[in-house]
């Protein structure tokens, strides 16, 4: 099936044609690991997880690289100030890599809850300092960078004479320079729009490495150029990330890769839009910053209750990734109800009795869902299509429509494939039910222990026999009991 992607670089939808089919190279900017994963992390993770799952379903062999930024990302995303990871380490008196590891673990746990598949490679910036230094050397050799006081800066003006700085974000260099003229003379940069490839470490800067220019650390944007080239080659298919990374991060990535390789490396740029909370941008200073753990536990003043990870995933998938998405208790509760209806319909499929004829056309479900998803990941249309089938499944269950065994098998397979494999939803009520069943069996067997201690053999035998009839085998032990399902 043809797959169309909206390429942010050309601002239009294009047919996706991989460089080396069936292989697809996918790079997505991952988290900077200095704080708990939050709502802002969930959207890109789920968007590109959907892309990853869909491409695999279309039989592509995807190498999905999602990096971890553990060095070089300075406060305010600028070239000056403290490193975000190092600052946390200083405040908590930890080694910076302890901070990074702690939040990497937290991030991976949260992704598991959201049923986000792990990427093929998850490289850390601090493990690729050599590759970054090598890339700086090439950019210097090619004449698009200069050394100043032990730091190395990218020469944006010189680059812009031959290439186009601003092509992704649509910004104009002259306007950027005019807007930041007052910064001139305050740094080692020749021009205010230049950005750091290597920074000389100040004495208090604790994350530092040797380089030909100084003991220092790489600039934030460089890791993605260096690691995408290392793992996906000089040209690769898709680069994704949040819209907030388009400038300066991705614009600088394009400039670095082009300056080093003399050609562009990314063929399709994809950007997910942002999440707002009750209509406002999310920010620590606004008091509406919600971590994923707070969402899962309901432990935040803006939340009326806890929301299950699958509710969050479904809520995000209900919007197209290029639209803004507003978080509110009402919207989340509606998503929770919708997901419940969808998952109930999937389990209702098992209860439907087949007929000798079908009054429904089961071929349309997969076809229409796949057409929507292959049209630039239009998950809301695919979900609307699924709800059309929720209605039909309920009619089949009520006997208002008929279906043959063969059609029922196809419907069931297609429904599972779209809901669980491609949209990546998970029926957590199955695990919940298992816990409930274990709890109930234990409760009943404890009542039986009580009866036995009172020599009420009639009740004790009755409980054991009736559980046995339901497939629960009870083994008495000196100190209690064991049980297992037949």
Rounded least distance, CB 268 to Zn ion, Å: 16
Nearer to Zn ion, 198 or 269 (CB): 269
Rounded least distance, CB 258 to Zn ion, Å: 15
Nearer to Zn ion, 46 or 374 (CB): 46
Residues 6+ apart with CB under 8 A from 40: 242, 274, 275, 282
How far apart CA 243 and CA 85 sit, in angstroms, is 23
Nearer to Zn ion, 35 or 248 (CB): 248
Alpha-carbon torsion (192, 193, 199, 203), positive or negative = positive
Nearer to Zn ion, 68 or 422 (CB): 68
Nearer to Zn ion, 29 or 136 (CB): 29
Closest CA to 112 of 224, 28, 37: 37
Rounded least distance, CB 226 to Zn ion, Å: 10
Nearer to Zn ion, 252 or 290 (CB): 252
Look up residue 35 and give its two tokens: 């704080």
Rounded least distance, CB 22 to Zn ion, Å: 26
Rounded least distance, CB 293 to Zn ion, Å: 25
Nearer to Zn ion, 65 or 392 (CB): 65
Rounded least distance, CB 312 to Zn ion, Å: 24
Rounded least distance, CB 468 to Zn ion, Å: 60
Rounded least distance, CB 223 to Zn ion, Å: 7
Rounded least distance, CB 227 to Zn ion, Å: 9
Nearer to Zn ion, 253 or 414 (CB): 253
Residues forming the site for Zn ion (CB under 5 A): 29, 224
How far apart CA 28 and CA 107 sit, in angstroms, is 15
Nearer to Zn ion, 9 or 94 (CB): 9
Rounded least distance, CB 248 to Zn ion, Å: 11
3-state secondary structure string across the chain: CCCEEEECCCCEEEECCCCECCEEEEEECCCECCCCCEHHHHHHHHHHHHHHHHHHHCCCEEEEEECEECCCCEHHHCCCCCEHHHHHHHHHCCCHHHHHHHHHHHHHHHHHHCCCCCCCECCEHHHHHHHHHHHHHHHHHCCCEEEECCEEEECHHHHHHHCCCCCCCCCCHHHHHHHCHHHCCCCCCCCCCCEEEEEECCCCCCCCECCCCCCEEECCCHHHHHHHHHHHCCCEEEEEEEHHHHHHHHHHHHHHHHHHHCCCCEEEEEEECCEEECCEECCHHHCCCCEHHHHHHCCCCCCCCCCCHHHHHHHHHCCCCCCCEEECHHHHHHHHHHHHHHHHHHHHHHHCCCECCCCCCCHHHHHHHHHHHCECCCHHHHHHHHHHHHHHHHHHHHCCCCCEHHHHHHHHHHHHHHHHHHCCCCCHHHHHHHHHHHHHHHHHHHHHHHHHHCCCHHHHHHHHHHHHHCCEEEEEECCEEEEEEC
Rounded least distance, CB 224 to Zn ion, Å: 3
Neighbour-count burial for 399-408, b at 16+ CB within 10 Å, e otherwise: eebbbeeebb
Nearer to Zn ion, 29 or 472 (CB): 29
Nearer to Zn ion, 29 or 116 (CB): 29
Rounded least distance, CB 48 to Zn ion, Å: 13
Rounded least distance, CB 194 to Zn ion, Å: 19
CA 444 → CA 362, 462, 474, 482, distances in Å? 44, 11, 11, 13
Nearer to Zn ion, 77 or 375 (CB): 77
The 266-272 sheet, strands edge to edge: 61-66, 23-28, 236-242, 266-272
Nearer to Zn ion, 125 or 145 (CB): 125
């Amino acid at each position: 099936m043809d797959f169309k992607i909206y390429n942010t670089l050309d601002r239009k939808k294009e047919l996706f044609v991989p460089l080396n089919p069936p292989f697809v190279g996918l790079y997505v900017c991952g988290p900077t690991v200095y704080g708990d994963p939050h709502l802002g992390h969930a959207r890109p993770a789920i968007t590109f997880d959907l892309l990853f799952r869909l491409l695999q379903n279309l039989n592509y062999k995807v190498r999905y690289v999602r990096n971890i930024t553990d060095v070089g990302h300075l406060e305010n995303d600028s070239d000056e100030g403290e490193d975000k990871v190092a600052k946390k380490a200083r405040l908590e008196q930890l080694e910076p890599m302890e901070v990074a590891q702690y939040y990497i673990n937290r991030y991976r746990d949260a992704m598991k809850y959201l049923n986000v598949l792990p990427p093929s490679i998850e490289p850390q910036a601090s493990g690729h300092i050599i590759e970054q230094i090598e890339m700086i050397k090439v950019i210097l050799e090619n004449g698009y960078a200069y050394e100043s006081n032990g730091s190395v800066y990218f020469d944006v003006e010189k680059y812009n004479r031959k290439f186009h700085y601003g092509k992704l974000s649509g910004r104009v260099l002259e306007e950027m320079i005019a807007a930041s003229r007052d910064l001139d003379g305050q740094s080692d940069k020749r021009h205010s729009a230049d950005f750091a490839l290597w920074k000389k470490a100040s004495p208090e800067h604790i994350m530092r490495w040797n380089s030909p220019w100084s003991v220092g650390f790489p600039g934030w944007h460089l890791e993605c150029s260096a690691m995408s080239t290392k793992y996906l080659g000089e040209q690769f298919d898709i680069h994704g990330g949040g819209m907030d990374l388009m400038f300066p991060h991705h614009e600088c990535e394009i400039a670095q890769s082009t300056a080093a390789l003399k050609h562009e490396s990314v063929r399709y740029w994809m950007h997910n839009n942002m999440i707002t909370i009750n209509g406002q941008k999310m920010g620590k200073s606004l008091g509406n910053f919600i971590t994923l753990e707070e969402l899962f536990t309901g432990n935040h003043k803006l939340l009326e209750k806890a929301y299950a990870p699958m509710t969050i995933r479904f809520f995000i998938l209900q919007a197209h990734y290029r639209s803004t998405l507003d978080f509110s208790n009402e919207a989340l509760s509606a998503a929770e109800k919708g997901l419940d209806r969808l998952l109930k319909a999937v389990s209702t499929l098992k209860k439907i009795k087949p007929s000798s004829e079908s009054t429904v056309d089961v071929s349309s479900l997969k076809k229409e869902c796949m057409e929507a998803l292959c049209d630039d990941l239009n998950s809301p249309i695919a979900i609307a299509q699924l709800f059309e089938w929720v209605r039909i499944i309920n009619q089949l269950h009520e006997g208002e429509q008929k279906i043959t065994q063969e059609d029922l098998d196809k419907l069931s397979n297609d429904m599972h494939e779209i809901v669980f494999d491609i949209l990546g939803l998970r029926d957590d009520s199955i695990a919940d039910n298992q816990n409930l069943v274990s709890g109930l069996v234990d409760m009943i067997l404890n009542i039986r222990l009580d009866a036995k201690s009172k020599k009420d053999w009639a009740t004790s035998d009755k409980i054991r026999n009736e559980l046995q009839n339901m497939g629960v085998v009870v083994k008495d032990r000196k100190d209690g009991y064991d049980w297992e399902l037949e």
